[in-house]
Amino acid sequence: MTEEAPARAAVGAAGEELAQRYLTHRGMVLLDRNWRCREGEIDLVLRDGDWIVVCEVKTRRSSSFGDPLEAITRAKLARLRRLAGCWLAEHPMGVRGVRLDVVGLLRHPDGSYRVDHRSGVGQ
């Protein structure tokens, strides 16, 4: 593991915490965080009314490598759809449907963040 890996993990964990607070402040209910199965990991699973929201969080310390949301590809969205099915198979609930959301966080030099929440992506 490189020296950069722990710093990157800390940035990612801080971003997930901030995204969770952002979304729950807007009325969503957290159901799961960093849920894993053999297919992969879901950052956040929330309930928004009668919708299950599977949320991918991308955090960057700068825009040198592009906007955080640019890292979310069609392949990543397809994997999130499969993971949503796996999560629902383990947690059967009566819901209207599943929605994929993404939250991009860009940390400014002063420690504040720009939050970009996109709801219902890849539908």
Task: Please state which of the ranges 35-39, 57-61, 74-78, 102-106 shows the lowest mean pLDDT.
Answer: 57-61
Residue 19 lies in domain:
4-118
Phi and psi angles of residue 101, each rounded to the nearest 5 degrees, phi first:
-120, 155
For 73-109, write each residue's pLDDT tens digit: 899 999 999 999 999 999 988 888 999 999 999 988 8
Instruction: For residue 53, give every residue at least 6 positions away whose Cβ sits within 8 Å of its Cβ, in sequence order, or none.
Output: 23, 28, 44, 45, 46, 47, 98, 99, 100, 101
Please check whether residue 123 lies inside any domain of the structure.
no
The number of domains in the chain is 1
pLDDT tops 90 at residue 70: no
CATH number of the structural domain spanning residue 10:
3.40.1350.10
> What's the chain's average pLDDT?
89
